[in-house]
Amino acid sequence: MDFKRLLLVDDEEGVRRFLGLSLMDLGYEVETAANGREALDMFDGFRPNIVFTDIKMPVMDGIELLKAIKEKSPDTEVVMITGHGDMDLAIESLKFDASDFITKPINNDVLEVSLERARERYRMKLQLREYTENLERLVEEKTQRIVELERQKAASQVVEGLSAALSDAARDVETGYGLFNELPCLVSIHNRYLEIVAHNTLFEERLGNQVGNNSFDIYSDRNSPGNACPVQRTFETGRGQRSKENFLGKDGEEIPVTVFTAPLPNTEGDIELVLDISVDMTELKRLHDELLTTQYKYQRLFDEAPCYITVQNPDLSIAEANRRFIEDFGEASGKPCYTAYKHRDEQCGDCLVRETFKDGLSRQHETVVTTLKGERKNMLVQSAPIHDVSGKVVQAMEMSTDITEIRRLQDHLTSLGIMLGSMSHGVKGMLTSLDGGIYRLESGLNKGDEERVAAATKTLKSMIGRVKKMVLDILYYAKSRELETETVDAAEFLRSTSDIVAPKAETACVEFIRDIPDGLGMLKADTAALSAALVNFLENGVDAGECRMGARLEFSARREGAELIVTVADNGMGMDRETRDKIFTLFFSSKGKKGTGIGLFISNQTIEQHGGSITVESAPDKGSTFTITLPAGDGA
C-alpha cells in the first residue's frame, strides 16, 4: 500500500504553489489549504496520510490544527513548517505528537528525509494495529476453546455423577432401604424387556407386588407393548419422560399420577434400566376439582347477584364486571368506571372507590345512571376494599343496587305530601267560603231575599266545584286515573300555550322564535296538564338564556305521520351527560336554590300519560334541545 496523500497548509499562496509542485514531483497526491479551519473542512473528504502545516497562520494556527487532526485521526502524520524564530513552538508541537518539523526556507533533501520518516511512521502504526487486532482475535478464539473444553468436562462429570447416583438409587429400591423408600412417591425399576424388577414399599402398598410383571400392566389404559407407556418411550428415545397417567390399584381403583422416568445407562452408555418415580395426584385432583367447583359457584353468585358489581384497580379502571353490568352498560374491562358507568370524561367528584382506596373503608351513596337502552335508574352504590395477604388495599369492589321502584314510590308519596300541604291552605279558604255561603243562604231564606239566596247558591256551587276538583287532584296523585282529555286543534293549542311564556321571555331579554304552522291536525289531550308541562319546558329555556348576550328560545312543531313533534330549543348554558340523565328525577335541579326539582318530574309524567316521549340533547355552553313526541289525533 502506498501512503502518498498529502495535505499542505500555509497562509502564503507562493509557498503553497512552489512547495506543492515539489511534493507532486516527489510522487505525492497534494491538496492545499490557506488556514487550519479550511484544512479541517477538507480533511474528512481527502483523508491524507501526511499533513504539512505552517505553525503561524490566521483563523486557526498550526498547533490548534495539529490537536484537531490527532483527535480525528491519531495515525495521520503531521509535519510542522516553522521559521527560525518559531523554534519554541516547533518543539511544543512535538509534545502533541507531531511527526517532525522543518524550517524555512525548505531544503529539498531535508524535505525528502522528513517525508520518508513520516511515511515510515505511518506504515509502522498500521502494522502495529493489525498485529494487535490479530493477537486479540487469537486470544479470544483460544479462550473460547478453553471454556468449551471446560464445559464439556464439567458436563461429563455431571453425567457420570448422575449415572452413579441413579444406579445407587436403583440398588436402594431393590434392597428396600435408602432414600426412595422414605419418599412419598411410587418408585419402580424396569429392565429393557419391559419388566418390573423392583419397587419401593409405598408402590407395593398401593399397587401390590408387581415384581416380574410387565411395565405396562400397572397402567389402567395400557394393555400391550403396542400402546407405549412412559417406560417404553424412555427405552425407545433414550430420554426421560413426564406425563399424566392412571395406575391401576390393587383393589381395581384408578390412581391418577404424574410419572417421571429417567434412563439408567451401564458403563458402556447403553440404557440398562429405567427409573420410574410417580407422584400420587389423588388429593391434588380432589383439591383441584373442589377449587373449580368453588370458582364456578362464586362466579355464578357474582354474575347472578341482583345488582351491578365491578372490581376496580387503583387507577379506577374496571378489572372485572358481572354479567348484569355488561348487559346494561356493555363490555367495560379496562375502561375507567366513570366512562363506562357515568358517561363522563373525568372522575366523579364524589367517587366512593377513590376514597375507599385512600382509607380502606366502605362507603355508600345514591346516584342516577343511564343504561345502553336509555333507561334511567336510581342506584344505591356501595364500595368495599379488597386486600392482599399483607392487608394492603389492591382493588375495590363497587356494588350498585337498583332502587328505582322504591324511589318512584317515595317520589309519588313525596309529591302527594307536597300537593296536600299546598292544598291545605286552599281547603281552609274554601271551607271558610262555604261557611260564608251557608250563612248568606240561611240569612236570605229567613228574610225571604231571593236575590241574596241566589247569590249564596252561586257561591256554594262554585265552592263545591272547587272542592270536587281538589279531591280529584288528590286522587290523581294518590292513584292513577284517566286524563280529562278533549280534542283540540294542535296549532291553536300550541300558540295559546306559547303566549303564556312570551311576556316572561321579553322581560328576560330572550328572543322568542315561534314556528307553529297551520295544518298540524287535531290533538287529544288534557289541555290544562299538557299546557302546564310545555310551559315548564319553555320557562326553563327562558331561565337558561336570561341576561345572556344573544339569548334565543325556539318553539316549533311539525307533523310526522301519526305523530306531533314539538321542539323546545335554547342556546343557553347547556348540561353535561350526568345532568341530562337526572333532570327528570324528583327534587333534582340544576338551578341550585332557585329550583324546586318538581317541575320537570311532573312534566315528564304528564307527557308519558299522554302516550308521548321526551329526548334531550345538550352539552355545556351549547344549549339544550327538548324533543317531545305526542300521538296526534286523526285528520291533518
Residue environment code for 193-232, b if the CB has 16+ CB neighbours within 10 A, otherwise e: ebbbbbbbebbbebbeebeeebbbebbeebeeeeebbbbb
**pLDDT grade for 588, boundaries at 50, 70 and 90:** low
Task: For the chain, give the number of residues.
Answer: 636
Residue with cell 502506498: 2
Instruction: Assess whether 227 and 356 both reside in one domain.
Output: no
| Domain assignment present for 257 | yes
**277, burial (CB in 10 Å: exposed 0-12, middle 13-18, buried 19+):** buried
More confident call, 221 vs 174: 221
Cell 318512584, located at residue: 408
**What's the pLDDT tens digit per position in 224-277?**
666 788 999 999 998 999 988 889 888 888 888 899 999 988 777 788 899 998
Read off the C-alpha cell for 174.
431393590
Based on the fold, state whether residues 398 and 415 are members of the same structural domain.
no
Look at residues 402, 435, 450 and tell me which one is the last residue of a structural domain.
402
Nearest partner of 466 among 443, 437, 495, 442, judged by Cα: 437
Same domain, 495 and 459: no
Do 494 and 607 lie in a common domain?
yes
CATH classification at residue 191: 3.30.450.20
The number of folded domains in the chain is 5
Q: Quick one: 473 and 498 in the same domain? A: no
The secondary structure of residue 336, as a DSSP letter, is B
For residue 180, which of 279, 281, 277 has the smallest C-alpha distance? Answer: 277
Strand, helix or coil at 509?
Answer: coil
Q: What angle do CA 271, 273, 277 make, to 5 degrees?
A: 120
Residues contacting 284, CB < 8 A, separation 6+: none
Q: Taking CA 269 as the corner, what is the angle to CA 265 and CA 271, rounded to the nearest 5 degrees?
A: 40
Specify whether 538 is located in the same domain as 438. Answer: no
**Both 272 and 376 in a single domain?**
no
pLDDT for 594 equals 47
54 and 105, same domain (yes or no): yes
- Sign, CA dihedral 427-433-436-441, equals negative
Q: What percentage of the chain exceeds 90 in pLDDT?
A: 9
CA angle 162, 167, 168 (to 5 degrees): 95
CA dist 435 and 619 (Å) reads 55
pLDDT on residue 279: 86
Residue 377 backbone dihedrals phi, psi, to 5 degrees:
-130, 135
Distance, in Å, from the CA atom of 85 to the CA atom of 264, rounded to the nearest integer, reads: 91
Mean pLDDT of 46-66: 88
User: Is the confidence at residue 207, as pLDDT, over 70?
Assistant: yes
Mean residue pLDDT across the chain: 80
Domain's final residue, options 67, 94, 128 = 128
Same domain, residue pair 229 and 359: no
Mean pLDDT of 309-334: 86
Given 478, 502, 533, the domain boundary residue is: 478
Cβ–Cβ under 8 Å, residues 187 and 203: yes
* C-alpha angle 543-546-547 in degrees, rounded to nearest 5: 160
The winner for highest mean pLDDT among 225-234, 335-344, 407-416 is 225-234
Together in a domain, 443 and 396? no
Q: Look at residue 240 and tell me if it is in a domain.
A: yes
Structure confidence at residue 566 as a pLDDT band (50, 70, 90) = very high
Enter the C-alpha cell of residue 122: 505511518
Cα–Cα distance between 330 and 315 in angstroms, integer?
20
Provide the percentage of residues in the chain whose pLDDT is more than 70.
83
Do residue 244 and residue 375 come from a single domain?
A: no
Buried b (16+ CB within 10 A) or exposed e, 51-69: bbbbbebeebbbbebbebb
Identify the DSSP state of 334.
T
Proportion of the chain in helix, strand, coil states, percent, rounded to 5: 50, 25, 25
Looking at residue 103, its pLDDT comes to 82
Q: Judge contact between 189 and 197, C-beta under 8 A.
A: yes
Do 500 and 531 meet the contact criterion of CB atoms below 8 Å apart?
A: yes
pLDDT score of 543 more than 60: yes
Angle, helix 527-545 to helix 490-507, in steps of 10 degrees: 30
Range of the domain at 562: 486-631
> CA dist 157 to 53, 151, 267, 270, 619, Å?
67, 10, 14, 17, 79
Q: Which residues contact 592 (CB under 8 A, 6 or more apart)?
A: none
Read off the pTM. Answer: 0.35
Q: Which residue has the higher pLDDT, 154 or 434?
A: 434
Q: Residue 462 has what pLDDT?
A: 67
User: 90 and 68 share a domain?
Assistant: yes
Q: Which CATH number belongs to the domain containing residue 45 in this structure?
A: 3.40.50.2300
What is the average per-residue pLDDT within 295-319?
A: 81
Q: Does residue 281 contact residue 256 with C-beta atoms inside 8 Å?
A: yes
